[in-house]
Structures are given as C-alpha cells and as structure tokens.
Amino acid sequence: MNDQNQIFPIGEKLPADYFTGAASLYTLVPKDETGTFTAGSVTFEPGARTNWHTHPLGQILLVINGNGFYQEKGKSARAIAKGDVVIIPSHIEHWHGAAKDTAMTHIAITNIGEQGPADWLAPVSDADYLSVQ
C-alpha cells in the first residue's frame, strides 16, 4: 500500500494470529520508562481487521486516515473515519479495522497492565464483518 495521505511509515506486518488481512504497526512510542503505555500507528489494508480482544487497562484510537469500523460485543458496529476518537474501556470485548474497500490508519494508545496490553480472542468471521459494511 502506498498512500500519499499516510503520515507515518507503514511499519512491520502484524501477526495473522490476531489479525485477518494485512495490518501493520509502526511504533511511535515503545513501552515508556514507566512501562504503562505504548503508542503506534496501525494501518489496515482494505478488509483487514483485528480479532475480538480486550485491553486490561483500556485503549484510545485516533483515526488519522481512511474509513473503518469499531464494534463492541453485543452492540452494533459503528463506522469510524479520519478525525474520529474511540475510547475503549478496560475489559470491553471489541474489534476494529478497515472497511472492505478502503484502508484505515489509527494511532493506538494502549495502557499496559500486569497482564500485558491485550487479551486476544477469536477472529471476527467474514459473515459478521461483511454484515457491518
């Protein structure tokens, strides 16, 4: 993907164990000296998305390019686009990713607890993903 609207480099490909489709991470702030947070630019190619997951101490997403979706378990998915901010409370099961025909990039600011930054769960099925488009 070579998008002239990208602010940061694409970064390293993220593992297929936790993502469906092509997603990459460019680390902006590695685990800080207090060990309590990280920040990174995450780029999802069209159709790419996270698995369902939770964050023991929450996360904030700042969408900086493209269009995508965010969904909490048991709720309707909501469209997200450049300029949107998503505040994800601790332990809320959710997923996020790009729309099927557009890439999406967000800055992820993730709090880190003793359990780590995230608890990864099952993939979002293609049927569930396509139902929100």
CATH number at residue 24: 2.60.120.10
3-class SS at 126? helix
The tens digit of pLDDT for each residue in 11-34 reads: 999 999 999 999 999 999 998 678
* CA distance linking residue 12 with residue 22, whole number of Å: 10
* CA distance linking residue 36 with residue 31, whole number of Å: 7
Query: Does 104 fall in a domain?
Result: yes
Query: Does 6 fall in a domain?
Result: no
The tens digit of pLDDT for each residue in 84-96 reads: 999 999 999 999 9
Query: Does 2 fall in a domain?
Result: no
**Are residues 18 and 50 in contact, defined by beta-carbon separation less than 8 angstroms?**
yes
Reported as type and span, the H/E element at residue 92 is none
Query: Does 4 fall in a domain?
Result: no
Residue 71's domain comprises 12-131
* CA distance linking residue 17 with residue 81, whole number of Å: 26
* DSSP 8-class letter at 2: -
Mean pLDDT value across the chain: 94
Residue 119: what residue type? D
Q: How many domains does the chain have?
A: 1
